[in-house]
Structure 1
Amino acid sequence: METSADDTGVCDGRSPDEGRSIGETVRATGMSVDTLRFFEREGLLLRPVPRNAAGRRVYERADVDWLLLVARLRASGMPVATVARFAELVRSGPGNEALRLELLREHERAVRARIAALGEDLEIIRNKVTVYERHVREGTAAGVWAPVPSAPGDAP
């Protein structure tokens, strides 16, 4: 039997077409049940999730793969509406790849800008750590940026 591996390379012992319960999908994706249901309600999935005879959702490997991508898009700051638009484009099939590409490029630009801003923030933090390390090492840390009470009548 052919088995599938998730993005971490962990083999789950299933054929790629074998269905997974919502609990198994939660474990495979690291998402909560509420998140999976939210993604479904918001139109972020590529297809309606089929249900078994008992009415329970049954996810396929392709659903899990898509959910992992959606999780990355959301974690990197893509708004729900943009993920929904991307899913809509994918669902509609061939012919709109240029639109999908532009959507992803826009998101990539936004992520790169956030990374650059975080790099600047990190540099400030590094500098502050260096200052505090020096003061602690030299025994001169007392009063470093200690709040100074305002004199009566001073503006805050």
Structure 2
Amino acid sequence: MGTSYGAGIVHMVAEADMVEGDPTGEAVIAWLLEIAAIGLSRRFRDFVGDRVAEFTNDDGHVAWRWLPDDEAAPILEAGPSFGDTRDEWPAAMDHDLFIPNCTTDRAGNVEADGSPLDRWFYTPVEPVITGMHHVLDEIDSGDYDGDRETVVELLGHLDFCRTHHLFMVVA
């Protein structure tokens, strides 16, 4: 059985009927505002239908905006799903949520009673990218018997998420 992973949280966490029954995106925006209010990310973006919205949390002040087409284009082109893998994941990837612009510098569990993210294991994306570079160095030196192609692929996806301020979700 594979592990699914992708960019953004809507397609991996939200209930399908909420997304499919919301042609204007209002329910999805409201749901993402709740995620922003948790306060784990200062800024993140996500897919809302065929557009991309950006959410900010500045000391508890939560706001959102639609990304202009030029900023949204590379995100929409990549799409939310990176796919599935059947390979063993490096230990650096042992989390459910990789958070861009994280408000903490260490991993933990989401504590948001009533939120669909409650109790998910998260980590800031930046130290994971650093850890993945160390894994590549260990593979190249022969100190780690991992699949280099898988690590390079995962590192590319993590970097994409960091660059475009997207959660990477593993389920």
TM-score grouping bracket, smaller chain normalisation = under 0.3
Structure possessing the higher radius of gyration over alpha carbons: 1
Name the TM-score, length of structure 2 as normaliser.
Answer: 0.23
Query: Which structure features the higher share of strand residues?
Result: 2
Query: Which structure features the higher share of helix residues?
Result: 1
Name the TM-score, length of structure 1 as normaliser.
Answer: 0.25
